[in-house]
Amino acid sequence: HRRLTKQLVGMAEHYLSPSILCIMLTALVSLAGAKVPAIIVFGDSSVDSGNNNFIQTMARANFEPYGRDFPGGRPTGRFCNGRLSSDFTSEAYGLKPTVPAYLDPSYNISDFATGVCFASAGTGYDNSTAGVLGVIPLWKEVEYYKEYQHKLTAHLGRRKAANIIRESLYLVSIGTNDFLENYYTLPDRRSQFSISQYQDFLIGIAEMFLKDLYKLGARKMSFTGISPMGCLPLERVANLDDPFSCATNYNDLAIDFNGRLRRLVRKLNQELSGMKIYFANPYDIIWDIVTKPSRYGLDVSSSACCGTGLFEMGFLCGQDNPLTCSDANKFVFWDAFHPTERTNQIVSDYFFKHLKNLFH
């Protein structure tokens, strides 16, 4: 940057007016300033770019038709027809168009230096949620991150590694599985906690997790809440009170839980010196997409692209299902639980407008 600045200033002094020169120098200083060097991702299937391919679990999406709209048309383990919101955010920052999975042996530390994903489909804040499908618990994602830090330091040296750790944007997207896969499906947590107590329990885990990342050097974070989960096709089908309509009780819970997450973020932004956490609440934007799909160039929001669009996900979304739609870009949801690439892009674009102002 210094060499480029010197050369341009030399040329500009001869050809440009002082006011134009001032504008150019301001732009150059901005370019030379702090930049997000990497995207580091934690969470569940909303951001898992393929880690579950390399563990013993049924929670996988490494087969067709998953990935059919991904570059190269190949399934990667993403629960989507294409890219995830975290991939689009990486690209928007001028980094790689996809964030590689940490457990994928086809990548190495030089690939991970500009972006890495530790997320695991099916996991949650609660360790027992990860146990349902035998996936990576959140604490283990943090252990992988510590391992990554050691590898990064060995690869780049202490100073460069420390800069990446400090200046990277950390994306966290997790929480839905704790309610839909665990609390409301299995009896253990319901016998221990009321729903309000369970939310408090999860908030306590979230706080410890965020503080752990802070201790490990994280300073810039986009922390995602949960979407109107009662509008997932699977929950619409299961809504016996009002079949095929959004399940109001789950949506009300999402609003309540997001309110608690927002208060936690406000608290930690005050307590943790130098830490800036942006609370990315997806509820309103996804509610708008679901209830007014045509505004976003979409057609179908009540059912998904895969199969009947009512209950299929994972292995039930096999390539032999003849009902799978031909154009996923017309759908809000890819399978009964996960959005399409188009929805992921809309949501990523929505949040990036805020992120680019907060984290340069």
Angle at 290 between CA 284 and CA 294, to 5 degrees: 115
**What's the CA gap between 135 and 24, in Å, rounded?**
51
d(CA 40, CA 217): 12
Q: Which SS3 state, helix, strand or coil, does residue 331 take?
A: strand
Find the helix packing angle between 18-32 and 2-15, rounded to 10°.
170
Rounded Cα gap, residues 117 and 98, in angstroms: 10
Q: Which residues are catalytic?
A: 45, 335, 338
End-to-end CA distance of the chain: 16
302-307, long-range: CB within 8 Å, 24+ apart, which pairs?
302/233, 302/236, 302/244, 303/233, 303/331, 303/333, 304/233, 304/331, 304/333, 304/334, 304/335, 304/336, 305/81, 305/331, 305/333, 305/334, 305/335, 305/340, 306/65, 306/334, 306/335, 306/336, 307/335
Residue 17 has a CB neighbour count (10 Å cut-off) of: 9
* Cα(88)–Cα(27) distance, integer angstroms: 25
Q: Using CB atoms within 10 A of its CB, is residue 60 exposed (0-12), middle (13-18) or buried (19+)?
A: buried
Maximum distance among all alpha carbons in the chain?
78
- What is the spatial distance between Cα 311 and Cα 318, in angstroms, rounded to a whole number? 13
Place of tokens 């890495």: 116
Tokens standing for 130?
């990860």
CA 1 to chain centroid: 32
Closest alpha carbon to 334 in 142, 84, 27, 96: 84
